[in-house]
């Protein structure tokens, strides 16, 4: 009887594992490579923005950096929802500030935090640069996306980045 129960449990585990793998495979099979790559890239790009703003806020204590860092976390969360839905790995699973899987983001983080550490004006200028980069990449992602949910999330993030850009430019004009 114990062998029968053990065998049944093993079968359930195998079927459950196969079912999970099939669902994950089915979820990602509908995405183009461009959509997959874009989602992974944008997730880490949003983390870059958040992390840079956290570091620069630690140095300059500017409310705009604090507020936009919180907003960038929401952007990250929105992309993570899509990663989970489509069964994609999370490149920003390590939430440590300054930790990235893409080496280009490592280098950008170092450069942007160094540049923004020079002055408050430089920190706001870094914000402008990051938001312009985000806007360009979100526009490219929207153009490449075939899935309405991806286009919708990217469109929402784009509106947020445009708002962030305007806020950084407005704060720069006041200095």
pLDDT in tens, 139-172: 999 999 999 999 999 999 999 999 999 999 999 9
Pair (117, 39) in one structural domain: yes
The tokens for 87 are: 């069964």
Q: Quick one: 66 and 10 in the same domain?
A: no
Give yes or no: residues 82 and 11 share one domain: no
Residue 29 — very low, low, confident or very high, per pLDDT cuts 50/70/90? low
Which domain, by its residues, includes 40?
Answer: 32-174
Q: How far is CA 32 from CA 38, 68, 102, 149, in A?
A: 10, 31, 20, 14
Spatial distance between the Cα atoms of 1 and 167, rounded to a whole number of angstroms: 69
> Are 1 and 85 found together in one domain?
no
Same domain, 11 and 90: no
Instruction: Report the CATH number at residue 156.
Output: 1.20.1260.10
Residues 103, 24: one domain? Answer: no
The count of domains in the chain is 2
Q: pLDDT for 95-135, tens place per residue?
A: 999 999 999 999 999 999 999 999 999 999 999 999 999 99
Q: How far is CA 127 from CA 3, 9, 37, 60, 63, in A?
A: 63, 54, 24, 13, 13
- pTM attached to this predicted model: 0.84
């Amino acid at each position: 009887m114990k062998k029968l129960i053990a065998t049944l449990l093993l079968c359930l585990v195998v079927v459950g594992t196969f079912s999970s793998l099939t669902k994950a495979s089915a979820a990602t099979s509908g995405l183009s490579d461009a959509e997959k790559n874009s989602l992974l890239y944008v997730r880490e790009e949003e983390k870059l923005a958040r992390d840079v703003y956290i570091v620069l806020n630690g140095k300059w204590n500017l409310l705009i950096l604090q507020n936009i860092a919180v907003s960038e976390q929401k952007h990250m969360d929105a992309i993570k929802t899509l990663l989970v839905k489509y069964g994609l790995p999370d490149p920003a699973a390590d939430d440590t500030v300054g930790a990235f899987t893409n080496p280009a983001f490592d280098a950008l983080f170092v450069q942007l935090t160094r540049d923004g550490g020079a002055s408050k004006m430089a920190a706001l200028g870094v914000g402008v640069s990051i938001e312009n980069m985000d806007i360009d990449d979100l526009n490219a992602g929207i153009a490449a996306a075939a899935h309405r949910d991806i286009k919708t999330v990217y469109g929402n993030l784009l509106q947020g980045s445009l708002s962030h850009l305007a806020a950084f430019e407005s704060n720069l004009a006041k200095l």
